Amino acid sequence: MNSIVLNNVTLPNGTGADIEIRDGRIVSIGESLSRGVDCAGLIALPGFVDVHTHLREPGFEASETILTGSQSAAAGGYTAVMAMANTAPVTDNAAIADFILDAGQAAGYVEVHPIGSVTIGLKGEALSDIPGLASSKSKVRMFSDDGVCVFDKDLMHAAMLAVKNVGGVIAQHAQDPLLTVGSQMNAGALATELGLTGWPAIAEESIIERDALLAEGTGSRLHICHLTTAGAVEVVRWAKKRGINITAEVTPHHLMLTEELVRSYDPLYKVNPPLRSQEDTLALRAALLDGTIDVIGTDHAPHSAEKKECEWQNAAFGMVGLEHAASVLQEVLIDGGGDWERFAQILSTRPAEIAGLVNQGKLEVGAMANLTLIDPSAKRLIHSATKSKSTNNPFAGSTLPGAVVHTIFKGQFTVKDSQLQERS
């Protein structure tokens, strides 16, 4: 029998409690006579769920593997990640999906669920085997061509119908490719000064608007990856008001970092979609507070050093994110007037619902013991070297609030006293 007792935790609603865990489940939340791990000062939250992780395996193991990505996730307080489909080969069939599922289980740090690609090879030409992915061992329910947009309207329409049939959701990477040929950074005065091709907001907003209408027409469920502009927030707000079944995510970096960082031409700050203006970050924060944006998706996008040690235009897009997402959310949300219940919704409950993960996002008796304890009073210096195999961390060198102290996955510590634990 395997049991853990957590004494003196603070629950998201602010009350104190002890939590007893036995055989992988939460068996009591309240007062316990048993003494276990003293968690005074720590906030207990349902384990974090990332709807947008690039684990890079199979195909790009120099940047990340399912094991190292899982470790990075656990270190960041996650107990489940959704693995994006832009692997090589692409996750457009059950065999690749099940390979990822199995490797995730073997790693044993978090639930790893493969996201299926919407189109074969992410080419945007023909639909992947959506029913086959859905009925595989992986039971794929989330589909995305992330990295590229499903641009063809007719194909997107067909995809929505196919995904609706299996009770799934499409996570759209909203980027009109015709409006972003060669785009390098947010369009505007700074792009002009720096001589970099601009990435207009409308390239994102017009796709969200189109897909919201397609979702309305088909009755399908739509999730929008990484919102970055004030206008995109307006479109999502409009769609939700209209009753369209749409959810939206924002990344940690788009909440805090702005295009000003591009002045350095350091490819560390090159990301798709690009860092935007201060006004955009403020609109994203407000949308996260008021619920227009549902969740944080890290868009954890590891890249090996040589992909970033080059000219801006030749560098890869992307940043890691798993190990500082919670700290960014604390700074933005808690310091912005939000509370820990909203925090848990954004980082755990809603992403679990969007991804359809039944064993995640619940801090209640009887639930699978997936939980995270954070110390909100900590201040920590962010380092570029983390549990991820890659170091492309735009927050390296800055100080952020909050630290993950313990992560418990299926009733066992993956992180204890801030140390990653060995898994069999």
Question: Would you tell me which residues interact with other proteins (CB under 8 A)?
Answer: 187-196, 198, 264-266, 306, 309-314
Residue 412: strand pairing partners: 409
Nearer to other proteins, 197 or 418 (CB): 197
Quick one: angle between helices 202-218 and 153-165, nearest 10? Answer: 50
Q: How far is the CB of 287 from other proteins (least distance, A)?
A: 25
Nearer to other proteins, 56 or 270 (CB): 270
CB of 267: closest distance to other proteins in angstroms? 8
Buried b (16+ CB within 10 A) or exposed e, 339-376: ebebbbbbbbbbbbbbbbbebbbbbeeebbbbbbbbbb
Q: How far is the CB of 236 from other proteins (least distance, A)?
A: 25
Shortest approach of other proteins to residue 197 CB, angstroms?
9
- What is the C-alpha separation between 392 and 390, in angstroms, rounded? 6
* Chain centroid, CA 404 distance in Å: 17
Query: Least Å distance between CB 247 and other proteins?
Result: 32
Among this protein's residues, is 299 annotated catalytic? yes
Q: Which of 18, 92, 145, 299 is catalytic?
A: 299
Q: Which is nearer to other proteins, 310 or 365 (CB)?
A: 310
Minimum CB–partner distance for residue 198 and other proteins (Å): 6
**Tokens read off for 150:** 């499903």
Q: Are 409 and 105 in contact (CB under 8 A)?
A: no
* Nearer CB in complex with other proteins: 265/413: 265
- Which CB sits closer to other proteins, 45 or 187? 187
- Can you tell me the distance from the alpha carbon of 231 to that of 163, in angstroms, rounded to the nearest whole number? 27
Closest contact distance (angstroms) between CB of 230 and other proteins is 17
Query: Which residues are annotated as catalytic?
Result: 299
